[in-house]
């Protein structure tokens, strides 16, 4: 299994619209890329009330790298065009192999 994570660092003066991301962008991802699973980690303050280091981290799970790559090229332009609708942050992308223990 492959996980593609898009992290949005919490940066002063930057915006992130979680509701748009959850209700519009991620459904677009599900439609265009058809991952096996989609999750969002929404950053919350820690036990001391300090803000999280990320506004959010979106995760897409795929059966294989081939599944991720198969639709990504065709979907890239539409997905990237939607980013300014919810953030002005350059996402940090991490692609990982999921290792179960």
Q: Are 29 and 72 in contact (CB under 8 A)?
A: no
- Which tens digit of pLDDT belongs to each residue from 12-71? 999 999 999 999 999 999 999 999 999 999 999 999 999 999 999 999 999 999 999 998
pLDDT of residue 73: 85
Domains of the chain: 2-97 (3.30.70.100)
Burial (CB count within 10 angstroms: exposed 0-12, middle 13-18, buried 19+), residue 55: buried
pLDDT of residue 71: 87
Q: What does the block give as tokens for 30? A: 């599900």
pLDDT of residue 72: 87
* pTM of the predicted structure, to 2 decimals: 0.92
Distances in Å between the alpha carbon of 2 and those of 24, 49, 62, 94?
Answer: 23, 33, 5, 10
What is the rounded CA–CA span in Å between residue 95 and residue 74?
19
Q: How many residues does the chain have?
A: 101
């Amino acid at each position: 299994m492959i996980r593609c994570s898009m992290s949005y660092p919490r940066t002063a003066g930057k915006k992130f619209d979680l509701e748009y991301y959850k209700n519009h962008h991620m459904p677009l991802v599900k439609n265009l890329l058809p991952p096996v699973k989609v999750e969002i980690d929404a950053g919350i303050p820690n036990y001391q009330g300090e803000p999280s280091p990320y506004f959010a981290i979106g995760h897409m799970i795929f059966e294989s790298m081939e599944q991720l790559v198969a639709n990504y090229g065709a979907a890239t332009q539409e997905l990237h065009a939607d980013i300014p609708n919810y953030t002005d942050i350059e996402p940090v992308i991490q692609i990982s192999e999921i290792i179960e223990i």
